[in-house]
Structure 1
Amino acid sequence: MGLTSTAVLAVVAALAVALFAATVRLWPRLARPGAAAVSGRIGLLLATQLTLFAAVGLAANNAFLFYGSWADLFGRKQELGVVTDHADGEAGAAGSRHMTRVGTQHPDVPGGRVPSVGGRIDKVVISGRTSGIESPAYVYLPPEYFQEAHAGRTFPAAVVLTGYPGTAENLLKGLRYPQTAHDLVKAGKARPMILVMLRPTVAPPRDTECVDIPGGPQTETFFAKDLPEAVAGSYRVGKEARDWGIIGNSTGGYCALKIGLHHPDRYAASAGLSAYYKAAEDPTTGDLFHGKQELRDRADLLRTLESRPPSGGSFLVTTSRQGEDNLGSTMKFIEKVKAPTQVSSIVLDSGGHNFTTWRREIPPALQWLSARLGER
């Protein structure tokens, strides 16, 4: 049974209840001196607490999808079975060597089983031509992509990134990006976009902070060069910067702003939800810069804005006056952006660093992206 299975949660929760009941029932018998009685009490208490913590952890993981599988939890590489589809000229077809479609699923929207009504979600593997990085992702194709009236049309695309150590499933189930995009288009508040959804942790379990690590994973190159190239070679996506945006939350938000700031020739619009503004350096990241201060400075977005001429592009940053710790640095980022670069913000009165807050910010953020992408 999978890590996120409700059956696993039910079994562990039932075991915790059973152990609690056993503890209450057996405690009078064990309330006497002697090594056996003491060992019994310790064993029951430990087993009850361990199963209780496991049940709470599984419930939290099911709600927030920090880890998508046992292999993901324990940091083991997951090999994907590959099904190559040569029928329709999209992902997996001949000539698309850097993207392979390994499955499809229906969006959770009305009429979702019919692509021309609800769109389609492809599960793909992106193979970086330059970086050598290989990463799974989900690609949401809007209903218009399959409609005859739009058969010759190219669509704008937005790369959507989770936080660390989140999984791409967070973006589908927890943050509901495809459903939100679908609803906004139906309401006339946004234009159809292709969403490329994945986590920034493309070299798990290491948090690479979307930088090109000397002698290590070239994560920035993957997102700035390889991913757009692979997607544009597999789907009807525009190839100019004005056709591409990038958005993320937390670590994904930092990555989105950083990549947009350093690569305005690739991404015209970048949105960071609850982002921070300099690369984290801790046990999960390892040595990102190998002592090179210029690389550390480059990964500091506020320092970059101070030291480089304005590069253009549009940025959206979000924070809250109560509940987020990035309010001050977000205000500094806004202050340091100079024309022709543009900056917008969402500042909530209150909201923590969590899915509830990001679900409040995603609809206006997607509207913001839509208004800045695909213009001819």
Structure 2
Amino acid sequence: MGLTSFPLQLLVGVLALGALVATVWAWPRLAGRRWTAVLGRAGVLAGNQVLTLAALGLLVNTYYGFYGSWDDLLGTDTGTASITTAGQGLQVLDSRAVRGGRIEQVIMPGPTTHLSEQAYVFLPSAYFKNKQQRFPAILALTGYPGDPRNLMTRMDLPGRMASAIAKHQVPPTVLVMMRPSVVLPRDTECVDVPGGPQVQKYFTDDVKKDMTDGYRVASGREFWGILGGSTGGYCALKLTMTHPEAFSAAVSLSGYFKTIIDSTTGDLFGGQKSVEHDNDLMWRLATLPAPPVNVLVTSSKKGEGDYRSTLDFLAAVKPPMQASSLILPSGGHNFNTWNRELPQVLPWLAQQLHAPTSAST
């Protein structure tokens, strides 16, 4: 049975429960001070703990997607996947049908930045019906360190998009699901680091080119939006505000507005105040002309540490930039809160994008 399979979780859970029942039944028989009785009690307790931890470990691993197989867990997975080319540079590792379309696991190379990262691309059913049509796209980013699979397993972005398309709430839209941390374990905060990884350029130039070359995705700014949570929310706002020629709209789920510097980031600015300012969204709003973009930010009055800074950001926005907000009465910095917001914000973002004609590029 696979490491993440439900039968294995059920089996280990039943064994853990059965061991607990057996312990209650056998405990009186293990009473006494003889070494065999003491050893028996210790063995029963150890067995219960091992089975209980195994059951909890399997549930946590499946929930968060830490390891995908036994070989992955044991570090013995040395197999390689066959690679097919979908377009110039972009490589497809896996493809599977899902409700409302297809998901492809790909590698996004960066010819201009020499960076490379894994992504999951959701192609709606309409993509396969009209071979001449190009489609709008949403770049969806996790937090740090993030696993792009969480955008499917924890937030169900493909399922939500398929449902919104089926209800005619939004036009068929491609999803590009990634994590913003493309040089793990370092957290680059989507900064073009002086003398280091050019992460902002990777997303604005390389990822967009990979998608427009490899898939029938329109390249114009009016066809591209970004959605992200936490660090991904900060990146969504920053990429859109600093590159309005590449993206026209963004959604930030519990994002922040200034680069976080800590032990995971190191020096991202190279001692250059100008780079620090460029990545400070509040500084940009106060100092530079507002970009012609439309953004939506979310927070909670109780449970979110960014509530006050979110209000400050909204107050600082000026035309031609437009900003909307979704403020919950309460909710923490977690997937549960974001899942409460997604039924509104995902259609909102898709509705900001144009639906290309067959001639659009």
TM range (shorter): 0.7 to 0.9
2:291 is the alignment partner of 1:311 = yes
Which structure is higher in RCO with an 8 Å CA cutoff and minimum separation 6? 2
2:243 is the alignment partner of 1:252 = no
2:154 is the alignment partner of 1:136 = no
TM-score by length of 1: 0.81
8 Å Cα contact 1:241/1:266 also seen in 2: yes
2:317 is the alignment partner of 1:337 = yes
Partner of residue 359, structure 2: none
1:55, distance to aligned residue in structure 2 (A): 3.9
Distance 2:251 2:92 in 1: 27
> Structure 2: which amino acid aligns with 1:63?
Y
Partner of residue 104, structure 2: 122
Distance 2:280 2:240 in 1: 13
2:359 is the alignment partner of 1:373 = no
8 Å Cα contact 2:148/2:177 also seen in 1: yes
8 Å Cα contact 1:65/1:166 also seen in 2: no
Partner of residue 164, structure 1: 144
8 Å Cα contact 1:190/1:366 also seen in 2: no
Partner of residue 255, structure 2: 275
1:80, distance to aligned residue in structure 2 (A): 5.4
Q: 1:352 to 1:2 in 2, by over 3 A?
A: farther
CA-to-partner distance for each residue in 1:199-230, whole Å, 9 max, x for gaps? 22222333222122334332211111100011
1:22-37, aligned counterparts within 5 Å?
none
How high is the sequence identity, in percent, across the aligned residues? 41
3-state SS of the aligned residue for 2:207? helix
CA-to-partner distance for each residue in 1:261-288, whole Å, 9 max, x for gaps? 1111100011111112222333333333
3-state SS of the aligned residue for 1:267? coil
Task: Pick which of 228-237 and 172-181 moved more.
Answer: 172-181
Distance 2:261 2:70 in 1: 26
Q: 1:59 to 1:328 in 2, by over 3 A?
A: same
Q: 1:230 to 1:332 in 2, by over 3 A?
A: same
Query: Where does the alignment leave 5 or more consecutive residues of structure 1 unmatched?
Result: 85-91, 110-117
Q: 1:46 to 1:254 in 2, by over 3 A?
A: farther
Distance 2:348 2:142 in 1: 19
Distance 1:237 1:275 in 2: 27
Distance 1:77 1:258 in 2: 37
3-state SS of the aligned residue for 2:259? coil
TM-score by length of 2: 0.84
8 Å Cα contact 2:135/2:355 also seen in 1: no
1:185-224, aligned counterparts within 5 Å?
185-224=165-204
Match of 2:135 among 110, 133, 155: 155
Partner of residue 301, structure 1: 281
CA-to-partner distance for each residue in 1:179-202, whole Å, 9 max, x for gaps? 111111211211111111112222
1:245, distance to aligned residue in structure 2 (A): 0.6
CA-to-partner distance for each residue in 1:23-57, whole Å, 9 max, x for gaps? 876799698699xx79x96x987786576455435
Q: 1:311 to 1:328 in 2, by over 3 A?
A: same
1:167, distance to aligned residue in structure 2 (A): 1.4
Distance 2:82 2:33 in 1: 61
3-state SS of the aligned residue for 2:350? helix
CA-to-partner distance for each residue in 1:336-369, whole Å, 9 max, x for gaps? 1111011111111222222222122222212212
Query: Where does the alignment leave 5 or more consecutive residues of structure 2 unmatched?
Result: 357-361
Number of residues paired by the alignment? 355
Distance 1:75 1:294 in 2: 43
Task: Pick which of 308-317 and 200-209 moved more.
Answer: 200-209
Task: Pick which of 2-11 and 366-375 moved more.
Answer: 2-11
